[in-house]
Chains A and B, each alone.
Chain A
């Protein structure tokens, strides 16, 4: 594509704005990381500093000495996010496969129905869901947060789009000729072909499950079941009111796993967002 040259002052403005926005994205986290290494007294004297200090372990000790147990939270979040991601990815692909590969009477109505339920806001589900889980004694049970992901309409929609463009139906029929059972074909032939889509969707499913607060907050009432975001909300409580250093280290602990995932996979994540259908 040929580009007309934009004027120099205008380009300078473009770059300045981009740099300002980049600083805005990074600065809060930078302050957090640096303050995580500084003592509460140091922070009280000057809350902004660009020089790290040596109180990281001390802050960590204070943090762990109170109700905050990051390892527990990390583990719980890991179990829930992994479980719900596996459910969401596997069953969404299976459902999309049913819609794309087989011709059955209710196929079109079923797809329209999936499109329609994509817009149901979680608010209108939550009270009834809580009551249901309470009655069958499933509060404080991780399955209550994992199993609902089996029905993920947005992901079914995405998987269908991907299958339509990249799953050759010849493969399915030649597997049939070779005598493969339908379920076997899906697990051993179709799933491997779907890998790129599975990976993208898995990242988003994992991150959104990892970050969710509302449902875990109402369902998990026992301290040993708390997820990472609930742990974070404890930092707001009175017990940390004056422990500035440990608040920052607590926040840092919850951010680091996400930073690692993001900077390893940012290319795929950005490409995934561009494909749309992400905002849960």
Chain B
């Protein structure tokens, strides 16, 4: 019997081969070559040859001291924060309301479907649509402003860098809060209803239940949301690229992804600089993700969670036939 079991092991290797080959060809090799290119003089459309630079860090120094890159980096963070903070706050509030631990909201099925909807629409389409909505000299926003007598003539909204950034952040917020809300709801639904019942018997208010039960137990999901949003946000491309022509006044909406795109695929095709910028972004993402993990996770919490998971597992075992019909 044992011998037979061993003979199946080869299928484990066999069935993983397509994944491994595709990963090596389309991810690993490109990552390595991006890293190598960062140290070379590789540029120009259709270039095939390159040399390693005498000063290996030259591209990195050029990028880091370039004012446009710094602007792009600053914008990317700024617009991520301007979208993430309202997004997580609203998603938390809605999740607390919709998860039914405090009260019931009628029509929440409809609301969930509608709030999530923008997430599924092509970002490129959304960017052009908002560009049209804020159109100059004539667009729905301008129409609204003149009808409400908020302005005398047509406003060129994106001439103001804060409006341009604000709209980019708003679109990101608008596209993602529904997603975050649903993830948080599923986190809250996974908590034991008993905790809330016990708290209720003890006379806890809705606020107390939210701050002392819901929030602490959502920690892991909040970390997950924050890290994925950070990784996604630092790669923001479609919307800033397509919403405002030429990244707005003084590069107000230039993000690092747009910067990398411009370096590599327009103008003088500086693949080497673009590679260096990609690596810098990659390192920043790694460092920040690690910091988020370390900041938001403490040892006591981990132990507590393990204990909770264990009791939950035992409870599930006991209650399996009964189910959780009242949820």
Contact with A along B177-188 (1 / 0, CB 8 A): 011001101100
Given contacts A1-B100, A270-B116, contact A123 B260 (CB under 8 A): yes
Given contacts A95-B19, A210-B122, contact A25 B117 (CB under 8 A): yes
A125 within 8 A of B: yes
The answer to whether A186 and B30 touch across the interface, beta carbons within 8 angstroms, is: no
Contacts of A166 on B, CB cut-off 8 Å?
none
Decide if the interface of chain B is mainly helix, strand, loop or mixed: helix
Contacts of A207 on B, CB cut-off 8 Å?
120
A75 within 8 A of B: no
The answer to whether B133 and A28 touch across the interface, beta carbons within 8 angstroms, is: yes
Contact with A along B125-147 (1 / 0, CB 8 A): 11011111101001111111001
Contacts of A117 on B, CB cut-off 8 Å?
23, 27
B206 within 8 A of A: yes
Contacts of B5 on A, CB cut-off 8 Å?
103
Contacts of B128 on A, CB cut-off 8 Å?
232-233, 235-236, 247, 251
* Stretch with Cβ within 8 A of B (4 or more), from A2-10, A51-59, A194-202: A2-10
Give the size range of B's interface with the partner.
35 or more
Given contacts A1-B196, A128-B37, contact A148 B133 (CB under 8 A): no
The answer to whether B12 and A232 touch across the interface, beta carbons within 8 angstroms, is: no
CB pairs A–B below 8 angstroms (23 shown): A1-B197, A3-B104, A4-B103, A4-B200, A14-B97, A22-B114, A48-B143, A94-B15, A99-B16, A102-B15, A124-B279, A125-B31, A126-B30, A129-B30, A130-B264, A131-B30, A147-B26, A150-B26, A151-B19, A211-B122, A233-B128, A233-B242, A274-B182
Interface residues of B (CB under 8 A from A): 5, 8-16, 18-23, 26-27, 29-35, 37, 48, 94, 97, 100-105, 107, 110-118, 120-126, 128-133, 135, 138-144, 147, 174, 178-179, 182-183, 185-186, 189, 193, 196-197, 200, 206, 224, 227-229, 231-232, 234-235, 237-238, 241-242, 245, 256-257, 260-261, 264-265, 271, 274-275, 278-279, 281-282, 285, 289, 326-327
